[in-house]
Structure 1
Amino acid sequence: MSNYTALKSLIHGCLVYALSIDTLNHELISIETKKFPLYKGRDNSRVLYISGVALRLGKSHNQTNLEIASGIVSHLSAQRGDVFSVEIVPPGWIYLELTHRFLAAWLQSLVVTNAGDGGEMGTSKITRQNSSRLFSIQYAHARCCSLVLLAHREGLIQLTEPIPNLVSAEQIPWLNDEQTLRLTHPAEGRLIAELVEVIDNLECPDLSGAVNWEKVALNLSQAFEAFWSQCRIWGKVKVSSPELSQARLGLVIATQSVLRCLLVYKLGAVAPVEL
Structure 2
Amino acid sequence: MSSADYLTTKQVLLPHLQVALNLYLLSYKLTLQPQLNVSWCQKKDGEFTYVWAIALQLSTAQKIPAIQIATKIIGMINTQAIADDIRQKLATENLACSTLIAIRATPSGLIYLELTDCAIAAWLQYSIANPPKIEKYCLQKNKTLLPFILQYTHARCYSVLQLAAREGIIPPVLTSISFLDSQQQLLCRHAAEQALIKQLLVTSDNLYAPNAHLKPHWQKIAVALCQSWQTFYAYCQIWGEVKRNNLDLARVRLGLTLLTQRLLAVLLNDKLGIYAPTEL
TM interval, short-chain normalised: 0.7 to 0.9
3-state DSSP of counterpart to 2:33 = helix
Identity, in percent, stands at 33
CA deviations over 1:214-251 (Å, ceiling 9, x no partner): 12111111111111111001111112211111111110
**2:134/2:265 contact within 8 Å kept:** no
> Which residue does 1:40 correspond to in 2?
40
Moved more, 245-254 or 187-196: 187-196
* 254, 262, 272: which one aligns with 1:249: 254
> Which residue does 1:164 correspond to in 2?
none
**1:83/1:98 contact within 8 Å kept:** yes
**1:20/1:28 contact within 8 Å kept:** no
User: How many Å separate the matches in 2 of 1:41 and 1:90?
Assistant: 16
Q: Closer, same or farther in 2 for the Cα pair 1:207/1:80, shift >3 Å?
A: closer
Asked whether 1:106 is paired with 2:123, we answer yes
Asked whether 1:50 is paired with 2:51, we answer yes
TM-score (norm 2): 0.83
Mapping 1:103-252, distance limit 5 Å: 103-117=120-134, 121-122=137-138, 124=140, 129-131=144-146, 133=147, 135-160=148-173, 168-170=174-176, 172-252=177-257
User: How many Å separate the matches in 1 of 2:251 and 2:138?
Assistant: 30
How far did 1:192 drift? 1.2
**2:178/2:252 contact within 8 Å kept:** yes
What CA RMSD, in Å, does the superposition of the two structures yield over aligned residues? 2.6
User: How many Å separate the matches in 2 of 1:67 and 1:267?
Assistant: 44
CA deviations over 1:130-171 (Å, ceiling 9, x no partner): 14x0x21111111111111211222211243xxxxxxx232x
TM-score (norm 1): 0.84
How far did 1:124 drift? 4.3
Mapping 1:18-29, distance limit 5 Å: 18-22=20-24, 23-24=26-27, 26-27=29-30
> Which residue does 1:65 correspond to in 2?
66
Higher relative contact order by CA 8 Å / sep ≥ 6: 1 or 2? 1
How far did 1:209 drift? 4.2
Aligned residues: 260
3-state DSSP of counterpart to 2:61 = coil
User: How many Å separate the matches in 2 of 1:252 and 1:25?
Assistant: 48
User: How many Å separate the matches in 1 of 2:203 and 2:242?
Assistant: 29
Q: Once superposed, which parts of structure 1, at least 4 consecutive aligned residues long, lie more than 6 Å away?
A: none
User: How many Å separate the matches in 2 of 1:43 and 1:65?
Assistant: 21
Q: Closer, same or farther in 2 for the Cα pair 1:215/1:64, shift >3 Å?
A: closer
User: How many Å separate the matches in 1 of 2:144 and 2:219?
Assistant: 7
3-state DSSP of counterpart to 1:194 = helix
> Which residue does 1:74 correspond to in 2?
75
User: How many Å separate the matches in 2 of 1:27 and 1:255?
Assistant: 43
CA deviations over 1:64-109 (Å, ceiling 9, x no partner): 4333222221232353354421011113111111111111011112
3-state DSSP of counterpart to 1:155 = coil
User: How many Å separate the matches in 1 of 2:261 and 2:112?
Assistant: 30
3-state DSSP of counterpart to 1:116 = coil
Q: Closer, same or farther in 2 for the Cα pair 1:139/1:44, shift >3 Å?
A: farther
Amino acid aligned to 1:30: Q
> Which residue does 2:87 correspond to in 1?
none
**2:138/2:274 contact within 8 Å kept:** yes
**2:125/2:178 contact within 8 Å kept:** no
User: How many Å separate the matches in 1 of 2:135 and 2:168?
Assistant: 27
Q: Closer, same or farther in 2 for the Cα pair 1:237/1:43, shift >3 Å?
A: farther
3-state DSSP of counterpart to 1:21 = helix
